[in-house]
Amino acid sequence: MTRRKLNLSILIIGLCFACKQEIKTAPKEQVISEDVAIENNTVSIDSLIANLKNPYNDQVIVVAHRGDWRNAPENSLQAIKNCIDMGVDMVEIDVRETKDGQLVLMHDERIDRTTTGTGKVADVTWDYLQTVELRDGIGHRTAHKVPTLEEVLALTKGKILVNLDKSYEIFDKCYKIVEKTGTQKEVIIKGQIPYDQVKEEFGVYLDKIFFMPIVRLNNPDAKSIINSYLENLKPVAFEFTVPQDTIALISDFEAIRSKGSSIWVNSLWPEHNGGHDDEKAVLDTSVYDWFIKNHIDIIQTDRPQNLISYLRQKGLHQ
């Protein structure tokens, strides 16, 4: 073989080897970038708790109302898993007790609207609930089942914060499940009651779990209720119902934050936020600007993906 042919052969072999190396490494590089993307959409539970405790950072907490109920039945395991996957910070769920003492997720007193069964939750057994299926948002039967509180907290543990709604009257029982699953610092309970009543009825839990008062700003006693909580409890946050966006107490939000409590306002329906609601925001996300201008740290929404996209464009959500 001539020197020229030998050099040509070596060149061809070298090019083939380089091509093989490129083919081998390209998929690996792609996998790495996908992993990074997944990690960027997953915030540690410690970061979520730190954000909840800090009313002065620039990250707005997104709470999904009854889970991602537009894409899975409300209060279902899948609706909650969807929230975890899309990077929601907290999921709001509703807890009720069956006739035989099982704690399950169900918003209504009756199961008729959201399942294929009938009757009050308090009048049916857990065995019966296991025979029915959940319905989706427009009433169609699905393959999803009614979950227990324990199943839900096992799913959410270390991944997402949880707001237990409808649970105040049965919280002694709820707390046993919270304690069993080791989710004490990941759970929030709320109540629309004065501080003195909370202290009397719920005091044993106030240093074990997050309690958040609900205050309607059109209540004539709203300011005194707020001040009582700030003086005695300094709650991690207040949930405020804002029927009109002209209510004077909105101007107190900054002062409340300066005392260590975050501000929670729902974007669910117009009566919660003076008309700055999710359905308007679907047409124009600048509707959410009102929440940012008024220093609202926590927003409960029926449109979590829409809200997260808006906040991330503004650098207000990780």
Domains of the chain: residue spans and CATH:
46-71+80-104+158-313 (3.20.20.190)
Closest to 108 (Cα-Cα) out of 156, 192, 148, 165:
165
Determine the 3-state secondary structure of 90 from DSSP.
Answer: strand
Which pLDDT band holds residue 50 (cuts at 50, 70, 90)? very high
DSSP state of 147: P
Catalytic residue among 65, 272, 276, 317: 65
Q: Which two three-digit tokens encode residue 65?
A: 């109302």
Q: What is the pLDDT of residue 28?
A: 31
CA angle 60, 53, 148 (to 5 degrees): 85
CA 154 to chain centre: 15
Which pLDDT band holds residue 82 (cuts at 50, 70, 90)? very high
Contact 67, 140 (CB under 8 A): no
CA angle 189, 222, 229 (to 5 degrees): 50
- What's at 101, amino acid-wise? G
Q: What is the pLDDT of residue 2?
A: 46
CA distances from 31 to 18, 27, 42, 86 (A): 20, 6, 17, 19
Annotated catalytic residue 107: yes
DSSP state of 188: E
Strand pairing class (187-191; 237-241): unpaired
141 versus 14: which is more confidently predicted?
A: 141
Backbone angles phi, psi at 40, to 5 degrees: -70, -20
Closest to 267 (Cα-Cα) out of 282, 252, 250, 249:
282
Alpha carbons within 13 angstroms on the beta-carbon side of residue 4 total 0
CB within 8 Å of 120: residues ≥ 6 apart: 109, 110, 111
Q: Tell me what the pLDDT averaged over the chain comes to.
A: 89
CA 2 to chain centre: 73
- pLDDT average, residue stretch 181-186: 98
Annotated catalytic residue 65: yes
Residues 261-295: b if buried by 16+ CB within 10 A, e if exposed: bbbbbbbbebebbbebbbebbeeebebbebbeebe
Give the span between the Cα atoms of 201 and 198, in whole angstroms.
Answer: 5
CB within 8 Å of 202: residues ≥ 6 apart: 168, 171, 189, 191, 211
pLDDT digits (tens, 9 = 90+) for 139-148: 999 999 999 9
Q: Which two three-digit tokens encode residue 149?
A: 């509180």
pLDDT digits (tens, 9 = 90+) for 86-138: 999 999 999 999 999 999 999 999 999 999 999 999 999 999 999 999 999 99
Residue 27 pLDDT > 80: no
Portion of the chain with pLDDT greater than 70, in percent: 87
Give the span between the Cα atoms of 146 and 311, in whole angstroms.
Answer: 32
Closest to 94 (Cα-Cα) out of 175, 201, 168:
168
Catalytic residue among 107, 144, 276, 317: 107
Give the span between the Cα atoms of 64 and 68, in whole angstroms.
Answer: 6
Say what the pTM is: 0.86
Give the span between the Cα atoms of 192 and 218, in whole angstroms.
Answer: 13
pLDDT digits (tens, 9 = 90+) for 239-282: 999 999 999 999 999 999 999 999 999 999 999 999 999 999 99
Which pLDDT band holds residue 25 (cuts at 50, 70, 90)? very low
Helix (H) or strand (E) holding 65: strand 61-65
* Share of the chain residues as helix, strand and coil, in percent rounded to the nearest 5: 45, 15, 35
